[in-house]
Structure 1
Amino acid sequence: MASVVDLGATPPCESFLAAEQLDGPEPAYPLHLRVCTDCWLAQLPPLITPEETFSEYAYFSSYSTSWVEHARRFVADAVRRLDLGADAFVVEVASNDGYLLRHVVDRGIRCLGIEPSVNVGAAARDAGVPTLTRFLDPDTGTAVRAEHGPADLVVANNVYAHIPDVVGFTRGLRALVADDGWVSIEVQHLLTLIEENQYDTIYHEHFQYYTVASAIRALASGGLSLVDVELLPTHGGSIRLWARPAEAAGEPSGRVAEVLDREKAAGLQEMSGYTEFSARVAKVRRDLLRFLIEAAERGETVVGYGAPGKGNTLLNHCGIRPDLLAYTVDRNPYKHGRFTPGTRIPILPPERIAADRPDYVLVLPWNLRAELAEQLSFVHDWGGRLVFPIPELSVVEVKA
């Protein structure tokens, strides 16, 4: 294993604090990304368990308008691509609050969500999406198949990096899917993470960071073969992996070879592709801190927008506290009145920004730049500006 970047020690990124917890201890764990020089899978050691993170979860996908629309388009495209009719069966693993499967329900297609978080799974059921509260492993996959039949499509979006036991999880996917079925996985692409300096997407619940090359090996461990790949803009740059049971897969598409060539050209199958990343991460920290300190010295106010997990990696790595960022806001009411882990920055309702009229709004979910620039267009009314920290510091005027 070789070091890629060491971000120090931070609390788990979704462990938001209630007010009564502020005087108590707060555990922190090393956040040190390394890469295996054999298979070139970048990974964190499993210092926390999925049960600690996901039994109750603060992230509800439906609060992102663009993410719900992304899911709607995916369902429409998958139905067309795979010719899914009324007799089809779709399973989503880590189905969250039903943001994706509700589009399957709307089409009259039988479906099931498998979601480990009790609170978000309950929200999905309330929205009419059948949901099983379980973690996926081979036994769960086998039990679901026995009760409901094999799935024509298994969806695993933004979960493949969250699993310490990749082999067991992949075997669970294989247990769910029909022998001639399809598995669709979306996961952040290590290529864009490195190229675009997206280090704030490194956090404890992300155990792996995939290239297509390393994903092929991971899928094979559970009896699945990659047949196609799509490059997506989501999360700053993701890959959508289309896989099938090995016996039904056939030859991979030309797009698979094209992305593998790009990864090899970027040096991601040797150490040359990783050596400069740590220095570029350090520059993000210096630039953001310099901006916040200089704004404070000028008497200007800076508040945050959003309280995503990635924001907590950034805030903790930079050592930002309420003296530099008075508060942040979030659309998710679950987070209101809580505080960011480690940095203890208050999280308030979004309406607070218009009431306080700050000079700058630091946008923590920078990957939703277009969506949030539109949502925050009212900041123009008093001459406020938006600040995007990644891939490099950018201070922009808002268009009315």
Structure 2
Amino acid sequence: MRCRLCDSARLSSVLDLGATPPCEKFLAVDELDLPEPTYPLHLRLCEDCLLLQIPALITPEETFTEYAYFASYSESWVRHAERFVSHAVERLGLGPESFVVEAASNDGYLLRHVVAAGIRCLGIEPSVNVGAAARALGVPTESQFLDEDSAAKVRAVHGPANLVVANNVYAHVPDLRGFTRALRELMADDGWLTIEVHHAANLVRLGQFDTVYHEHFQYYTVLSAQRALATAGLTVVDVELLATHGGSIRLWARPEAAAGAPGERVAAVLRDEAAAGLHDPDGYRDLAPRAAHVRHELLRYLLARRAEGKRVVGYGAPGKGNTLLNYCGIRPDLLEYTVDRNPYKHGRFTPGTRIPIHPPERIDADRPDVVLVLPWNLETELTAQLRHVADWGGELVYPLPAVHRADLTGAVRADDADPSTAAGSTAPTGNDFEHFTGRDAR
């Protein structure tokens, strides 16, 4: 294996999670007796450019031609996208003559707000079933993968974009340099690119091992993201720390000729990363023991509940949850079933661990003793939605960043839940890079 950013062969092991199935390959009933392929899930660090990465063992075509993830099922995520669009329109002065393109636009959760603002836009979404959902919402969407050829065709037909949005996709591309050139091809020479991606600082310092799965090919600090974007002549001029996905970064980049000097927030986060040891290979050595500690802690908790005769079920069937379940070896003897709001997953089973997935109403009907929430990064939203579990004396438990019980008596109403905060818990959540650097996450 060579580094997909700089071609170096100096890759060192950071975290070996064993072999697992692809995280979004949910099994139908008639697949339960068939062989299930698994692939190594081994995170490595390039000692030259400091890009965290896994081998590209599955192709995007295998994962994204038909996809199980629909972003609009998370209400807080839709509100997050709406706030971003409002902010971008104001910051960049976008109007009816502007053009916005989103790469990996999913079901239109973000661009529907651009449409509502009266701004011309186009989504590029490879998953046919998800793109169809976007078009049903009135969001112009092309069902194709973004590469240099498709970017050139989009630009030829629609013109250059004033803003290109690449939220939660920059980790999903094995051809990192080619995809970065495709993003630049879409942009006007004075245009803007925004990228939201999980911050590797939180992955490493908080042991967020479940963010590692096969469709996430690389994991970024601001430093490594700068180096990746520079391969296509793009300069990071601003960065924001976000609470989403357990702590993300929002990068604002421009073509070099229009960029100017990076802002102070870029310099500040780079200083904080360096102070946390993330600009040196030795700073990544704590991830494996942190992940093992979470695994042991969670298994001790579930085994104790089983010994007490308590009924434990899950909430959510996210891709990251399948990394957690497989790494920890959690099967239906410890987690009877899980539920999910996405009807696509109902009646299916989690990959590898074969845990059945039901509609959310099953929890209200069964009234289990413990509900283990797998999408722990949505703690504020889900604690608000599930506060009624306390009505029958049930407990709501989150596995990361440490196993902890939510305070349901203090949970805000679901309508008031803000994904940028972490209500209902005494454990650190959100963008906890600030816990290691003393900075506020904004």
**Category of TM-score, reference length = shorter chain:** over 0.9
3-state secondary structure, aligned to 2:171: helix
Asked whether the equivalents of residues 85 and 109 of structure 1 are also in contact (C-alpha less than 8 Å), the reply is yes
Which residue identity does 2:52 align to in structure 1?
A: A
The AA in structure 2 aligned to 1:298 is E
CA RMSD in angstroms, aligned pairs only: 0.8
> Which residue number in structure 1 is paired with residue 31 of structure 2?
21
Q: Does 2:122 correspond to 1:112?
A: yes
What's the CA shift string for 1:189-227, capped at 9, x where partnerless?
Answer: 000111222110000000000000000110011121111
**Contact 1:105 / 1:129 at 8 angstroms: preserved in 2?**
yes
Instruction: Tell me by how many angstroms 1:14 deviates.
Output: 0.3
Determine the structure 2 residue equivalent to 1:60: 70
Contact 1:380–1:397 (CA under 8 A) maintained in structure 2: no
Match of 2:223 among 210, 213, 224: 213
Does 1:234 find its partner at 2:229? no
Gaps (5+ residues) in structure 2? 1-10, 412-442
Alpha-carbon contact 1:384-1:397 (below 8 Å) kept? no
Show structure 1 runs of 5+ residues with no match: none
Match of 2:165 among 147, 155, 160: 155
CA displacement, residues 316-362 of structure 1 (integer Å, 9 cap, x when unaligned): 00001101000000000010000000000000000000100001000
The answer on whether the counterparts of 1:384 and 1:398 sit within 8 Å (CA) in structure 2 is: no
Contact 2:204 2:286 in 1 (8 A): no
Q: CA deviation at 1:268?
A: 1.0
Q: Counterparts of 1:386 and 1:375 in 2: how far apart (Å)?
A: 11
Deviation at 1:294, TM superposition (A): 1.2
Partner of 2:297: 287
- How far 1:396 sits from its partner (Å)? 3.1
Amino acid at match of 1:356: D
Partner of residue 382 from structure 1, selected from 385, 388, 392: 392
Please report the TM-score for the alignment, with normalisation by the length of structure 1: 0.99
Deviation at 1:397, TM superposition (A): 4.2
Distance in 2 separating the partners of 1:294 and 1:251: 55
Match of 2:313 in 1: 303
The one of 340, 343, 352 aligned to 1:330? 340
Normalised to the residue count of structure 2, the TM-score between the two structures is 0.90
Q: How many residues align?
A: 400
Letter in 1 for 2:214: H
Residues 66-92 of structure 1: per-residue CA shift (max 9 Å, x gap): 000000000000000000011100000
Deviates more, 1:187-196 or 1:303-312: 187-196
Cα pair 1:152 1:177 within 8 Å, conserved? yes
User: Could you tell me how far apart the structure 2 residues matched to 1:125 and 1:115 are?
Assistant: 11
Structure 1 CA distance for aligned equivalents of residues 290 and 117 of structure 2: 46
The whole-number CA distance in structure 2 between the counterparts of 1:291 and 1:214 is: 37
What is the percent sequence identity of the aligned residues?
70
Which has the higher mean CA deviation after the structures are superposed, 164-173 or 274-283?
Answer: 274-283
For structure 1, which segment, 221-230 or 44-53, has the greater mean C-alpha deviation from structure 2 after superposition? 221-230
Superposed, which structure 2 residues align to 1:29-48 within 5 Å?
Answer: 29-48=39-58
- 1:139-161 CA-to-partner distances (Å, cap 9, x unmatched) read 11111000000000000000000
- Residue 424 of structure 2 corresponds to which residue in structure 1? none
Counterpart secondary structure, 2:406: strand
- Counterpart residue number, 1:250: 260
